[in-house]
Amino acid sequence: MKTLIGWPITALILLLAVWPAAGATEHLLVPGDVLKITTRGEPDLSGTFTVGDDGVLVLPLNAGKIKIQGMTLAAFGDAVTQAMAQFVKEPQVTVELSKIKLPNVKVLGEVKKEGAYDLPDGSNVFHAIVAAGGFTALADRARISILHDDNTREKVDLTLEDRATPAALPKVSDGDVINVPQLGHYTVVGEVVKPAVNEQLPSDRLTLLQAVTRAGGFTPRGNQKRVRLMRADRTSLTADLSDPTAGDGGLDVLNGDTIIVDEVPINENNVFVLGGVTTQGARPYKPGMTLLGAIAGAGGPTLGAKLNQVVVVRPLPDGKGITIKADLNKIYADPGKDVPLVAGDYVWVPGAVPRAPVDRTDYLTRLLAPLILLF
């Protein structure tokens, strides 16, 4: 799609169509406006006056002060006529707006021309950004802020959904400061397929699970139950992403975040199935798990696996272990001979190893160490 100043042309045409035209809305008086007051036959009660910074206009000859900020010109004329009635019977007063103080708005950050701009009455945040040349390629359009003259702050999301309803965009006032921040970055390291450093945050929401998925997902030894999220202020949060159907971990990724996927601890409630199976690696241990169930959970044996030479190694606290030999052919024929497993067991199926084994050979070497020692 063609773009202009960083906006799709269709959206730009739509929003330009609602650019406030001169005189399209009734002007509300503000500090800096210049007003001409004419009292017929009374030159001392006439003149040109500027609304003060406090929104007050002082009338001549101590006729009084009028708090006019936010008034229409007609309402101001009525107030002046009432004030002049102290000096003139049935005064004939006309008021004119000699000079309008246009809202002056600063636009900073990821726009093409930072600076201060005088805008027509009724302008909104989009008009201010257009005046500043539009967004840069790094603009975070979902997290724009407006600092108003009274020190209140307003958040604005100028993603496509909001651009389609220009009437809902917040108006800008004199003294406002608009800041368009740069898109943030995050890092994913550890046991993911494609670690990413300084990855650019999207303009919309990014959850912890989505960030891990963008990094290619977990490696076979990635600890899905305990994913760490380190904020830019060094606070640390953890989430369980082991069941994608249960949710996204309840955490959003923010600018400067680092996601750390640790390695599964060797004997932390897992059974390890290695060798001639479709998917080598750790399998979550569940009470009642058996040898057949663990191998089935690993995708089953590969073609050429030696089913009659399967070995289960069970490490013991003293650093040694016991070995259980099993013949899967006999277990298939008589399931009653299946071997119950416990957390921390290693299952080795001799034979053809799949083409895409666990990502690092040192991992297989370390996991097979108990087997090597026992044979």
pLDDT at 324 > cutoff 70 = yes
Q: What is the 3-state secondary structure (H, E, C) of 15-43?
A: HHCCCCCCCCCCCCCCCCCEEEEEECCCH
pLDDT at 142 > cutoff 90 = no
The pLDDT of residue 268 is 61
pLDDT digits (tens, 9 = 90+) for 208-266: 999 999 999 998 778 888 888 988 887 888 888 887 666 666 788 988 899 999 877 65
CA dihedral 303, 309, 315, 319 (to 10 degrees): -120
CA–CA separation, 197 and 183 (whole Å): 15
What are residue 207's DSSP bridge partners? 252
Cα angle, residue 176 at apex, residues 174 and 177 outer, rounded to 5°: 145
Task: State both tokens at 63.
Answer: 């006729």
Q: What average pLDDT does the segment 275-286 reach?
A: 85
Domains of the chain listed by start with CATH number: 34-99 (3.30.1950.10), 103-180 (3.10.560.10), 185-263 (3.10.560.10), 270-374 (3.10.560.10)
pLDDT digits (tens, 9 = 90+) for 11-40: 444 344 444 554 446 778 888 888 899 988
Residue 64 · residue 56 · CB < 8 Å: no
Kindly write down the DSSP assignment for every residue of 296-331, as one continuous string. HHTT-BPTT--GGGEEEEEE-TTS-EEEEEE-HHHH
pLDDT digits (tens, 9 = 90+) for 165-205: 666 788 898 889 999 988 888 999 988 999 988 888 886 78
CA–CA separation, 93 and 325 (whole Å): 109
Residue with tokens 């509300």: 28
Strongest mean pLDDT among 127-136, 159-168, 349-358: 127-136
Residue 306 to residues 111, 329, 365: CA-CA distances in angstroms?
65, 10, 20
The pLDDT of residue 248 is 64
CA–CA separation, 295 and 329 (whole Å): 13
**What does R_g of the chain's alpha carbons equal in angstroms?**
36
Query: How far from each other are the two terminal CA atoms of the chain, in whole angstroms?
Result: 65
CA–CA separation, 285 and 297 (whole Å): 11
CA-CA-CA-CA torsion sign (291, 293, 294, 298): positive
Which pTM does this prediction carry? 0.45
The pLDDT of residue 166 is 61
Q: Please enumerate in sequence order all residues whose Cβ is within 8 A of that of 29, keeping only pairs 6 or more positions apart, or say none.
A: 35, 51, 68, 69, 70, 71, 72, 73, 76, 97
Q: Which run of H or E residues covers position 163?
A: helix 160-163
CA–CA separation, 196 and 217 (whole Å): 12
pLDDT digits (tens, 9 = 90+) for 56-104: 888 887 778 888 877 888 898 898 888 888 888 888 989 998 888 778 8
Q: Please enumerate in sequence order all residues whose Cβ is within 8 A of that of 208, keeping only pairs 6 or more positions apart, or say none.
A: 227, 229, 239, 241, 248, 249, 251, 252, 253, 259
